[in-house]
Chain A
Amino acid sequence: MSLNKEVVLQGAKDAFGAPAAVLFAGMVGFGAMGQANGLDIWLTSATSFFMFALPGQVVLIEMLVLGASGVAIAFAVTLTATRFFTMCLTLFPQFPEKQRSSFYYVLVHFMAMTSWAIAMKDFPKMEPEKRLSYFTGFALVCWGVSTPGTALGYLIAGQVPSYLNLGMVFINPLFFLLTFTEVKPRANRIAILLGAVIGPVSYLWFPNYSLLIAGLVGGTIAYSVDLSLRKKAIA
């Protein structure tokens, strides 16, 4: 493993600012949710430390409160996490093949939608040799602020008025929505539009599988449309 310390620090520095602040706020909101639902602070914080996937964490708490079985909970959370599979398949090939090592299996735990989205946007402009170091610094900061944020949110839950909490819960999805406007490749732009429609609609009928359906159907249609447009441009 050969990380360039300077680039790692640059990634870490860039993460401080909007990305880490947004994630931190989301985790504070999540900590407050854990407290409001009567979970203990250790379990609530452990989800951020060991799972580090906010939508999955919310599903976990929601189902614990409903008294669902452990198997049902694990199943539902695992299904919400499917996105990590294709996020990895589109992130790691952008690192030079000679840098591949078992370190990837550690690093991947620190990947969040935030760091993935930033990597997809900025990697094309970055030298391939710098990407792994940059991502390491960036992702570690995002992960690093999450558990303290969760614990803090839990501890101050009673004192924070709900209108402020509301802002913290909302800032996360809003951030992702806004990053979508900066996505450049045509196929991905079409995919975002289709996913945005198919996701909520399919959720009404198949809540567990809605993300998979939206991803496969929306993504495949978007890719096909883009492919046929590319072929037309050549012809």
Chain B
Amino acid sequence: MPETVDLSNMFNDAGMWAALIAACLGTYLWRGLGVFLSGKISQDSEIFKWLSAVTYAMVAALTLRIILLPVGLLSTVPIYVRLTVTILALIVMYSKPGERMVPALLTGTLALVLYALAINYIN
């Protein structure tokens, strides 16, 4: 957990809100542009298939980055622990395809919580 820092030394309040507004506009820009251009695309077209593949590659990249190279609290957990609980969850998920989302989620999450509890206890 990072130490609480006094942000006023590095960034004034107005500056933070300005950064927030700019970041929100930047995020909405993609959404709005996507809606604007989506009318030109048919769901049966080849370009739709390509765009779907690009999007899945992007969200998979993002997900794996968060698990493998996290910032903040998750980065305090060693990578082999993160990998182990992830694989545990995947095993539960694949044990009965299509019906195991909640058990798999609980397995992975509880395994990680138990690990952190054990570490807490040892220290």
Contact B53 A219 (CB under 8 A): yes
Known contacts A191-B53, A191-B57, A200-B68; decide if A174 and B31 are in contact (CB<8 Å). no
Q: Give residues of chain A (181-206) contacting chain B, Cβ–Cβ below 8 Å.
A: 181-183, 185, 187-188, 190-200, 202-204
Q: How far apart sit A62 and B17, CA to CA, in the bound complex (Å)?
A: 15
Which A residues touch B22, using CB under 8 A? 70-71, 73-74
CB 8 Å contact bits of A27-66 with B (1 = contact, 0 = none):
0010001001111000100110011110110101011110
Contact B51 A22 (CB under 8 A): no
Q: How far apart sit A111 and B69, CA to CA, in the bound complex (Å)?
A: 25
Query: Is A175 interfacial (CB-CB < 8 Å)?
Result: yes
Contact B105 A171 (CB under 8 A): yes
Q: Of A169, A173, A198, which is in contact with the most chain B CB atoms at under 10 Å from its CB?
A: A173
- Grouping DSSP codes into helix (H, G, I), strand (E, B) and loop, the B interface class, with mixed when no group exceeds half, is helix
Contact B101 A178 (CB under 8 A): yes
- Output the least CB separation between A60 and chain B (Å): 5
- With contacts defined as CB atoms under 8 Å apart, how many contacts are there between chain A and chain B in the complex? 320
- Output the least CB separation between A58 and chain B (Å): 7
Which A residues touch B29, using CB under 8 A? 78, 81
- Output the least CB separation between A152 and chain B (Å): 17
Q: How far apart sit A13 and B28, CA to CA, in the bound complex (Å)?
A: 26
A78, A117, A190: the one within 8 Å of B30 (CB): A78
Q: How far apart sit A202 and B65, CA to CA, in the bound complex (Å)?
A: 10
Q: How far apart sit A196 and B90, CA to CA, in the bound complex (Å)?
A: 15
- Grouping DSSP codes into helix (H, G, I), strand (E, B) and loop, the A interface class, with mixed when no group exceeds half, is helix
- Output the least CB separation between B114 and chain A (Å): 8
Contact A174 B32 (CB under 8 A): no
A86, A100, A204: the one within 8 Å of B58 (CB): A86
Interface residues on A, range: 35 or more
Q: Give residues of chain B (36-55) contacting chain A, Cβ–Cβ below 8 Å.
A: 37-39, 41-43, 46, 48-55
Contact A177 B23 (CB under 8 A): no
Q: How far apart sit A64 and B71, CA to CA, in the bound complex (Å)?
A: 14
- Output the least CB separation between A101 and chain B (Å): 11
**B interface residue numbers (CB < 8 A to A):** 1-2, 4-7, 10-11, 15-20, 22-35, 37-39, 41-43, 46, 48-69, 71-74, 76-77, 82, 85-86, 89-90, 93-94, 97-98, 101-102, 104-105, 108-110, 112-113, 116-117, 120
Known: A93-B39, A94-B43. 20 other contacts (CB 8 A): A37-B4, A51-B24, A75-B26, A78-B26, A78-B29, A78-B30, A81-B27, A85-B33, A86-B34, A89-B51, A104-B35, A108-B32, A163-B120, A167-B113, A176-B59, A177-B89, A214-B58, A216-B54, A223-B54, A226-B53
**A interface residue numbers (CB < 8 A to B):** 18, 22, 29, 33, 36-39, 43, 46-47, 50-53, 55-56, 58, 60, 62-65, 67, 70-71, 73-75, 77-78, 80-94, 97, 100, 104-105, 108-109, 111, 113, 117, 120, 161-167, 169-183, 185, 187-188, 190-200, 202-204, 210-212, 214-220, 222-223, 226-227
